[in-house]
Amino acid sequence: MPNPVIHFEIVGKDGPKSQKFYADLFDWHVDANNPMDYGMVDTHAQGINGGITAGDRPTGTTIYVQVPDLQASLDKAESLGGKTVMPPTEIPGAVTMAMFADPDGTVVGLILDQPQ
C-alpha cells in the first residue's frame, strides 16, 4: 500500500514573518500559540495541512510521508542510496518522526503511522 504525504513544513529565516506571508498569500489559518512558536497551518481546504517555522536548518520546504515503521523506511532509503538525517525521534505529545536525504540531498520527513 502506498504511503501518503500528510504534512508539509516551510522553514524560513524569520518564523513569524514567514507565517504572516503565507497566511496572507493563501488565506491559511496559522496558529503559532505553542511553546515552540511552530506555526500549525490549517489550509481550510482539500489537501494536507502543514507548519511554518524558523530554525537552524536551511530554508526550504519539506514533505512528510506517513509510514508504519520509521527504521525500516530509513533502512530502505539507505539501501537505495539515501542517508539518514534524523533517526527516529519522539516529540512528546506531538509526533514520532525521522528524516532522510535522497541521493541528491533532498530531505524528506517520515511520520510514524499511529493506530487509530
Q: What is the mean pLDDT of residues 39-43?
A: 96
Q: Rounded to an integer, what distance in angstroms lies between the CA atom of residue 112 and that of residue 105?
A: 22
Average pLDDT, the chain: 93
Q: How many CA atoms lie within 13 A of 102 on its CB side?
A: 8
Please indicate, yes or no, whether residues 29 and 4 belong to a single structural domain of this protein.
yes
Tell me the percentage of the chain whose pLDDT exceeds 70.
Answer: 98
- Looking at residue 94, which CATH number applies to its domain? 3.10.180.10
Q: What is the mean pLDDT of residues 52-59?
A: 87
From the CB of residue 107, how many other CB atoms can be counted at a distance below 10 Å? 18
User: Nearest-5° angle of CA 32, CA 15, CA 19?
Assistant: 65
Residue 93, pLDDT above cutoff 90? no
Please indicate, yes or no, whether residues 81 and 47 belong to a single structural domain of this protein.
no
